[in-house]
C-alpha cells in the first residue's frame, strides 16, 4: 500500500541520515546494501521538509504529546472544597404546553406573568423555557409545575437568551432575528433590532453607584457586541421604560461566544468579559466611557480593550478551541468556569481572572527609566506573561461530554461552588468537581440517549416542605428531545 511504502522510505531515510551524521560509514554501507537502498539515501536536500532527523522527530512527538495532554487536575489532599452531597440526581420531566426543541431554560423571577392581576402580583420564581416554536412558557416551581402563562406572539423568532432584572419587574430576551425585547409582566414594552443576525446572549448588571441604572450587553452573530444603559423609572411608571439606542459597541474579528459582567477586583470599575470564536483569549473591555470619549461626544462609542488573557498560553496550533461559555463562581468574584468547544469532547477550565490595569503609565517617565526594548527583552516579557496566565489555570479537565462543531457548550456552577454542571450531545448532564476536575456525577434517564442537551441551569429554589419554605438545589436541562427536565436531590 502507498502509505506503508511512504512510511518505510521515511524510516530508511531517518536511519541512514543518523548514520551519515555520526560518521558510521561501515554500518551505513552495510545498511544500504542489505536494504537495497540508493547510495545517496539519507543525504540532506535543499527542501527542509525532507530533512527530518530522529532527534527532530522525537522533539516533535514530545510537543504533540503536550498539546494532546490538555488536562490539568487539582489535588484533593486537603479534603476541602470537594463535591458536596447530596447532589441533584432524580429526574422529573415537565410537560410544557407545546412540544418543541428547547433552546433556553432556567429559574427566573417574573412579576405578574398572568392575565389575572391578583395572581403573581409579587416577585416569584418560575421555570422559564423557550423553544424553537417561538413560544416562551412560564411554569410554577411548586407541585406539578403547571403552566402559568405561555407567550405565543411575544417574539417573531425563537428566543435564544433571557435575563430577569429588578426581581422580575423586567425581563430582557433576545432572539434569532437579532432583536432584543423588553417585557414587563404580560406586556411587551419595547423591542429593537440592532444586530444583523442571531442575538445569542444577553447579560445585565446593576450599577452599584446608581441602583436605578442597569447595564445590558448583547452578543450577535454579526461579530458585534452592543451595550445599552437602562435608566429605571419608579414602579408607578414601570411601563414607560424603553431600551433606547445602544451607547457603545465592540466590533470583533469573529462571532462572540459568551459575555460576562465583572467588577474589577481592585477598583470595582465594571468590566465586560468577552470570548469569541476561533480565539483562546478572554477579552477585558471597559464599560464606562473614558474622558477622551466623553469629550468627543460620539453617539456610539467603541468600548476600550484593556487587556486579554490566554487560556492556552503555552500551546501550539494543534490546541484549537474557543471559550464557548463562561460562568462566574457564586462565591469567588475572580474565579470563572469555562466550557470550551474542543472536539470530540468538551473540556472545562477553572481559571482565575487576571484583571488588567486601568491606569495608563506616564509615557515620559516610562521612556526615561525603562531599559531599551530588545528582541530578547520582548521574548522574556512574553514568556513571563505566558507563565502567569498558565499559573492562573487551576483545572483543565476532559468532561467526556461529546460534542461537534455545531454544539453549544454550557457550564453552570453548583450553588455552593463545589462543582459545575455541563451539557452534552449524548443526552447526559455531567457534574465536574471544581477542586480536582474529575467527573463525579452523570445525570441519565431524563433525556433520550444520544440526544443533544441544549441548555443547563443550576441554582437554589425556594419550595414548600411541611408548611415551611426551604431551599432546594435544582438542575434544569432542556434538549432537542423536546424534554424539559428538573433534576432534584
Confidence of residue 122 (pLDDT cuts 50, 70, 90): low
Cis check for the bond before 86: say yes or no (omega within 30 of 0): yes
Of residues 101 and 208, more confidence is placed in: 101
Give residue 46's pLDDT: 60
Q: Are 123 and 140 in contact (CB under 8 A)?
A: no
Cis peptide before 344 (omega within 30 of 0): yes
Is the pLDDT score of 79 beyond 80? no
Q: Tell me the pLDDT band of 346, cut-offs 50, 70 and 90.
A: very high
Distance CA 391, CA 78 (A): 20
| pLDDT value of residue 1 | 41
Is pLDDT of 368 > 90? no
Give phi and psi for 478, each to the nearest 5. Answer: -135, 140
Pull the grid cell for residue 483: 424534554
At 417-439, the pLDDT tens digits run: 999 999 999 999 999 999 999 99
- Farthest CA pair distance, the chain: 99
Q: What is the pLDDT of residues 41-52, one digit of tens each?
A: 888 776 555 677
- pLDDT at residue 290 in the model: 75
Say which CATH topology domain 154-290+298-319 has: Methylamine Dehydrogenase; Chain H (2.130.10)
Whole-prediction pTM: 0.82
Classify domain 83-110+321-356+390-488 at the CATH superfamily level.
YVTN repeat-like/Quinoprotein amine dehydrogenase (2.130.10.10)
Judged against a pLDDT cut of 60, whether residue 61 lies above it is answered with yes
Q: How confident is the model at residue 194 (pLDDT cuts 50, 70, 90)?
A: very high
Q: Decide which of 142 and 482 is more confident.
A: 482
What mean pLDDT comes out for the span 381-402?
94
Cell of 253: 474579528
Mean pLDDT of 238-266: 95
Q: Is the pLDDT of residue 58 over 70?
A: yes
Question: Poorest-confidence range of 31-40, 64-73, 219-228?
Answer: 64-73
Whether the predicted pLDDT of 6 surpasses 80: no
Q: Are strands 256-263 and 281-286 parallel, antiparallel or unpaired?
A: unpaired
Instruction: Please indicate whether residue 11 or residue 121 has the higher confidence score (pLDDT).
Output: 11
Range with the poorest average pLDDT among 127-141, 284-298, 453-467: 284-298
Q: Compute CA 293 distance to the chain's CA centroid, rounded to the nearest angstrom.
A: 30
To the nearest whole number, what is the mean pLDDT of the chain?
89
SS3 379: helix
Of the listed ranges 65-69, 70-74, 449-453, the one predicted with least confidence? 65-69
Q: 49-58, 107-116, 186-195, 279-288: which has the minimum mean pLDDT? A: 49-58
Between 378 and 61, whose confidence is greater?
378
- Please tell me the predicted confidence (pLDDT) of residue 363: 46
pLDDT at 121 over 60: no
pLDDT exceeds 90 at position 2 = no
The residues with which 162 forms a beta bridge, in sequence order, are 173
Distance of CA 290 to the CA centre of its chain: 28
pLDDT value of position 24: 92
pLDDT for position 62: 67
Q: Where in the chain is the domain with CATH 2.130.10.10?
A: 83-110+321-356+390-488, 154-290+298-319
Confidence of residue 364 (pLDDT cuts 50, 70, 90): very low
Residue 334 has pLDDT above 50, yes or no: yes
Average of per-residue pLDDT across 245-271: 95
Q: What confidence tier does 119 reach under pLDDT thresholds 50, 70, 90? A: very low
What pLDDT was estimated at residue 55? Answer: 80
Q: Given phi > 0 = left and psi -120 to 50 = alpha, else beta, which region is 134?
A: left
Q: Are strands 248-251 and 301-302 parallel, antiparallel or unpaired?
A: parallel
pLDDT at 63 over 70: no
- The reported pLDDT for the residue numbered 114 is 76
Q: Is the pLDDT of residue 391 over 60?
A: yes
> Measured on CA atoms in the order 375, 379, 384, 386, is the torsion positive or negative?
positive
Q: Which of 40-54, 141-155, 157-171, 278-292 has the lowest mean pLDDT?
A: 40-54
Amino acid at each position: 500500500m502507498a502509505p506503508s511504502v511512504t512510511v518505510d522510505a521515511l524510516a530508511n531515510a531517518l536511519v541512514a541520515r543518523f548514520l551519515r551524521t555520526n560518521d558510521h560509514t561501515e554500518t551505513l554501507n552495510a545498511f544500504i546494501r542489505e536494504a537495497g537502498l540508493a547510495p545517496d539515501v539519507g543525504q540532506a536536500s535543499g527542501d527542509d521538509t525532507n530533512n527530518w532527523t530522529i532527534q527532530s522527530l522525537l522533539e516533535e512527538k514530545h510537543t504533540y504529546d503536550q498539546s494532546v495532554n490538555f488536562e490539568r487536575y487539582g489535588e484533593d489532599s486537603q479534603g476541602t472544597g470537594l463535591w458536596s452531597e447530596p447532589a441533584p440526581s432524580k429526574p422529573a420531566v415537565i410537560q410544557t404546553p407545546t412540544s418543541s426543541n428547547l433552546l433556553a431554560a432556567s429559574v427566573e423571577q417574573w412579576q405578574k406573568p398572568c392575565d389575572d392581576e391578583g395572581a403573581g402580583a409579587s416577585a416569584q420564581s418560575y421555570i422559564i423555557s423557550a423553544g424553537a416554536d417561538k413560544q416562551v412558557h412560564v411554569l410554577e416551581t411548586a407541585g406539578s409545575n403547571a403552566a402559568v402563562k405561555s407567550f405565543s406572539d411575544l417574539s417573531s423568532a425563537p428566543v435564544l437568551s433571557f435575563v430577569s432584572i429588578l426581581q422580575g419587574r423586567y425581563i430582557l430576551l433576545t432572539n434569532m432575528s437579532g432583536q432584543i425585547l423588553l417585557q414587563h409582566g404580560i406586556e411587551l414594552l419595547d423591542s429593537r433590532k440592532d444586530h444583523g443576525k442571531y442575538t445569542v446572549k444577553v447579560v445585565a448588571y446593576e450599577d452599584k453607584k446608581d441602583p436605578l441604572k442597569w447595564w445590558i450587553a448583547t452578543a450577535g452573530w454579526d461579530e458585534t457586541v452592543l451595550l445599552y444603559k437602562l435608566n429605571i423609572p419608579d414602579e408607578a411608571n414601570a411601563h414607560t421604560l424603553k431600551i433606547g439606542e445602544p451607547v457603545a459597541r465592540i466590533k470583533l474579528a469573529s462571532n462572540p461566544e459568551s459575555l460576562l459582567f465583572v467588577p474589577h477586583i481592585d477598583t470595582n470599575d465594571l468590566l465586560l468579559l468577552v470570548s469569541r470564536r476561533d480565539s483562546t483569549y478572554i477579552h477585558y473591555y471597559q464599560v464606562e466611557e473614558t474622558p477622551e470619549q466623553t469629550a468627543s461626544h460620539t453617539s456610539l462609542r467603541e468600548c476600550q480593550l484593556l487587556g486579554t488573557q490566554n487560556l492556552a498560553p503555552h500551546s501550539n496550533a494543534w490546541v484549537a478551541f474557543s471559550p464557548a461559555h463562561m460562568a462566574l463562581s457564586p462565591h469567588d468574584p475572580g474565579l470563572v468556569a469555562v466550557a470550551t468547544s474542543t472536539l470530540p469532547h468538551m473540556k472545562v477550565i477553572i481559571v482565575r481572572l487576571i484583571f488588567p490595569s486601568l491606569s495608563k503609565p506616564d509615557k515620559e517617565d516610562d521612556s526615561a527609566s525603562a531599559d531599551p526594548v530588545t528582541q530578547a527583552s520582548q521574548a522574556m516579557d512574553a514568556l513571563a506573561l505566558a507563565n502567569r496566565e498558565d499559573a492562573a489555570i487551576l483545572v483543565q479537565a476532559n468532561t467526556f461530554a461529546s460534542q461537534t462543531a455545531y454544539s453549544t457548550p454550557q457550564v453552570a456552577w453548583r450553588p455552593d461552588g463545589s462543582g459545575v454542571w455541563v451539557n452534552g450531545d449524548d443526552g447526559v448532564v455531567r457534574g465536574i468537581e471544581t477542586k480536582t476536575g474529575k467527573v463525579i456525577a452523570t445525570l441519565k434517564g431524563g433525556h433520550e440517549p444520544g440526544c443533544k442537551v441544549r441548555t443547563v441551569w443550576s441554582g437554589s429554589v425556594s419550595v414548600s416542605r411541611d408548611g415551611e419554605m426551604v431551599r432546594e438545589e435544582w438542575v434544569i436541562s432542556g434538549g432537542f428531545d423536546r424534554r424539559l427536565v428538573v433534576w432534584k436531590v
